[in-house]
Amino acid sequence: MDVVKRIREVRKLAGQARGTGGKIALVPTMGALHAGHFSLIDAARSECDFLVVSIFVNPTQFAPHEDLSSYPRTEGDDLAACRARGADVVFIPPCEEMYPFGKPKTEITVPQLAGTLCGASRPGHFAGVCIVVAKLLNIVAPDRAYFGEKDYQQAAIIRRMVKDMNLPVEIVTCPIVREPDGLAMSSRNGYLSDEQRREAPALYGSLQLAAEMIRSAHPPVEDVIGAVRRYLSENAPLGEIDYVQVVDPDTLSDVRAIDGKVLVAVAVKFERARLIDNMLVDAGCDDA
């Protein structure tokens, strides 16, 4: 496995693999790798010939008050895990390599998908995600790039960016990987105190409650949101609800009535740890 810090090096290695007819996969990450990341890496490994994992804590997607400086960095473990899972290249650039001219003057936004859910509470976040993902796609030129459904809105925005810009890459999404108690795995779960950690599975519990209500009774949206909020207040009193929304899975607009597939999405802040989770639910089906 090659560990490379420079754009020209990763371009060269990916170019050589492309030259031999290999299908190239990219798994973009911010490191502190866990089983959620591994599911993307394993899927990419099994479906493609040449696997590039990028590790870059991207400053442009953090607001000034957010956790850029304290974001977990576990480079040694991450490299060992990538090696064990068969990555061909880990691209781990320093910040100056990705942003040699400082803050980019180009902006890529998908406002129709980015104004809601996490985009509403983190203005500018998805513009930062779009610029770094566009750069990585341009640098590696993969056939496929892998993203997690845990960040459903992020994947939807990237899919649309790729479509709108005719980027020649297939965006593949992988299911949410959870702890045994249901908590969605996240590099930020380590910020939780023991007490907060005990409450955190309530996000998943609240989504299961919503799914049950939706499948059994087709309730008004307000009833679902009310029930999820009550569940979170009772089961995660240390958390502060950021949002509870029921949206169309394609447009991410709030739905007025539940009919067909909907996405139920929640975000809860436990001090430094802002946790998100979501579930696709089909009102007409027992397992969406």
Residues that bind ligand AMP (CB under 6 A): 29-30, 36-37, 39-40, 147-148, 150-151, 174, 176-177, 184-187
Of the candidates 100, 80, 104, the residue with the CA atom closest to the CA atom of residue 90: 80
Q: Is 21 exposed, middle or buried (0-12, 13-18, 19+ CB in 10 A)?
A: exposed
User: Which residues belong to the active site?
Assistant: 37
Q: What residues form DSSP beta bridges with 90?
A: 3, 53
Q: Output 84 or 257, the one with its CB closest to ligand AMP.
A: 84
Q: How far is CA 55 from CA 52, 90, 99, 136, 278, in A?
A: 10, 7, 15, 11, 25
Q: Output 187 or 221, the one with its CB closest to ligand AMP.
A: 187
> Minimum distance from CB of 188 to ligand AMP (Å)?
8
Q: Output 34 or 281, the one with its CB closest to ligand AMP.
A: 34
**Angle made by CA atoms 55, 58, 60, in degrees to the nearest 5:** 165
> Minimum distance from CB of 224 to ligand AMP (Å)?
23
Could you tell me if residue 172 is left (phi over 0), alpha (psi between -120 and 50 degrees) or otherwise beta? beta
Cβ-proximal residue to ligand AMP, closest one: 148
> Minimum distance from CB of 176 to ligand AMP (Å)?
4
> Minimum distance from CB of 147 to ligand AMP (Å)?
4
